[in-house]
Homo-oligomer: A and B are copies of this chain.
Amino acid sequence: MASVNKVILIGNLGKDPEVRHLEGGVAVARFPLATSESYKDKSGQRVEKTEWHNIVVWRGLAEVAEKYVRKGQSVFIEGKIRTNQYQDKDGNQRYSTEIVADSLEILSPKGSNEGGNTAEQQSAALHQSSTHQTGKTSAPAGVAQNDEPDDLPF
């Protein structure tokens, strides 16, 4: 069915990425990303409103996030919206929405890694192959296929 689920964000990391390396070698990184807009309220006061997004990146992109992306930095992200369902401790159905990124570009080198990275690193343009995300028909033999398993905790 004709369907599109696309998100484009430019914002700043609220924390360093948290990276987990799953069995099979697959990496997952997560970090909060702030976007903000400012507008005038009814009384004419300028107000800043910040939106927080839970970003998730997988595999190679997660490894890059782990190495080059830090709290405070500005990044461009392209991805899709994903809402996970879970039961809370009282058995209530809960929802948690995140952005699964398949492209990430570092826009500015700020935050806690000023000492280190090179211009080359800062400008890394990274795109998750959609082949890996969906069909995987062209994935070479020997490559772990259990990316983004449905039974992962989130």
Binding site for B on A (CB under 8 A): 1-12, 34-42, 51-53, 74, 76, 78, 80-83, 88, 90, 92, 94-97, 99, 105-108, 123, 125, 127-140, 145-146, 149-150
| CB within 8 Å for A40 and B83 given contacts A2-B10, A2-B123, A94-B94 | no
Residue numbers in B under 8 Å from A99 (CB-CB): 81
Residues of chain B contacted by A138 (CB below 8 angstroms) = 129, 131-132, 138-140
The complex places the Cα of A5 from the Cα of B52 at a distance, in Å, of 10
A3-B37, A7-B7, A108-B108 given; 20 more Cβ-contact pairs under 8 Å:
A2-B76, A3-B125, A4-B9, A5-B35, A5-B53, A6-B9, A7-B81, A40-B136, A42-B145, A53-B81, A76-B76, A81-B81, A81-B99, A95-B96, A127-B134, A129-B129, A129-B131, A129-B138, A131-B138, A138-B140
